Amino acid sequence: MLVDINQTIALLKQGQVVAIPTETVYGLAADASNNEALRQIYAIKERPADNPLIVHIADASQVNEWAAEFPPLAQKLAKAFWPGPFTLVLPAKPHVSTIVRGNQPTVALRVPNHPVTLQLLKQSGLALAAPSANKFTQLSPTTAAHVAAGLGENVAVLDGGACKVGIESTIVSVKGDDWQLLRLGMVPESSIEALAGRPALKNQVNIPKVPGQHLLHYSPKTSIKLFGSREELVNFAETSQKKCAALLIGEGITPTCKHINLPKQAVLVAEQLYSVLHMMDNYQVELLLIETPPNAPEWLAILDRLGRAAYQ
């Protein structure tokens, strides 16, 4: 069910959930200070309660309403990457609902870069908790139609067009001068490191991991098989007894199965990846064959999502 911005604000203020556009993926939003509304998010997504939510805010001036500390490094990163596909995990103020935090001592905050949702946040005065608007472990939605297909027509959706970034935000946890990369995204580690002036901490116990980083995630219903080279993929397609479809990075064809080509540019693949996977999932084939992009810095977030989507 499509709703406009005023209906969205009214529903959110009544404690209902609404799927909203962002530049990364659509989020299933609720008033971050309303526990009843937050519980609905977990129920609709069938998401485990220990998997915390990102709180979306209108600008960095609202960080102090949620975070107990906003250290200079975090301020610098917020200034560089907000609004944008970047989430900061900071120590939480005590009032922040344990439902939002999934019982963590921290809260995740993001200023999304989408005109409709920025207007929504400003006009409503609300902070919106919003995980991706899909069932737990399934493919994230990048259009309003994907939300309806995944969650059903009863969920209210504010249509803001197709998401431009296409994969979920980079998540960074900051404590004092230290930082840790919790989820790869299109803001690359090298840009964060350059601003921080020091590398990320690896596997520190005092900084929480992302509880939601399940190995099986972002998955279409059809099984996926990844291939490190085009030759292997084409050979497999020629000899396999299974009905396949292929996703190729760059030009070319697979003579024996239906295929889709994506341009060999990381930002363009990210933008279209979930849309293409949603589409291929509807082909009614037994197996999706995917050519993996090169193992280079700009492709890491895409390789991460493909690895999880293919995990059995």
Distance CA 47, CA 123 (A): 29
* Interaction residues for ligand TXA, span 252-311 (CB under 6 A): none
Residues within the interface to Mg ion (CB under 5 A): 132
Q: Which is nearer to ligand TXA, 270 or 289 (CB)?
A: 270
Q: Which is nearer to ligand TXA, 52 or 220 (CB)?
A: 52
Q: Which is nearer to Mg ion, 132 or 142 (CB)?
A: 132
Q: Which is nearer to ligand TXA, 15 or 211 (CB)?
A: 211
Say whether the peptide bond before residue 83 is cis (omega within 30 degrees of 0): yes
* Closest distance of CB 230 from ligand TXA, Å: 31
85-to-60, 80, 113, 163, 165 alpha-carbon distances in Å: 14, 11, 7, 11, 8
- Count of residues binding ligand TXA (CB under 6 A)? 30
* Closest distance of CB 54 from ligand TXA, Å: 5
Distance CA 104, CA 92 (A): 8
* Interaction residues for ligand TXA, span 8-47 (CB under 6 A): 22, 24-25, 27
- The reply to whether 54 sits near ligand TXA by the rule CB under 6 A is yes
Spatial CB neighbours of 141, under 8 Å, sequence gap ≥ 6:
19, 25, 26, 132, 133, 134, 147, 149, 150, 274, 278
Distance CA 181, CA 170 (A): 8
- The reply to whether 168 sits near ligand TXA by the rule CB under 6 A is yes
* Closest distance of CB 70 from Mg ion, Å: 25
Segment interacting with ligand TXA, rule: CB under 6 A, options 145-153, 196-204, 210-218, 280-288: 210-218
In 3D space, the residue among 112, 104, 99, 123 whose CA is nearest the CA of residue 33 turns out to be 99
Q: Which is nearer to Mg ion, 132 or 219 (CB)?
A: 132
Are 302 and 290 spatial neighbours (Cβ–Cβ below 8 Å)?
no
- Which of the 8 DSSP states describes residue 138? B
- The reply to whether 182 sits near ligand TXA by the rule CB under 6 A is yes
Spatial CB neighbours of 159, under 8 Å, sequence gap ≥ 6:
2, 21, 144
Q: Which is nearer to ligand TXA, 110 or 278 (CB)?
A: 110
* Closest distance of CB 51 from Mg ion, Å: 9
Tokens of 217: 């995630």
CA geometry: angle 34, 63, 66, nearest 5 deg: 40
Residues that bind ligand TXA (CB under 6 A): 22, 24-25, 27, 51-54, 85, 87, 89, 101, 104, 106-108, 110, 112, 130-132, 168-169, 171, 182, 208, 210-213
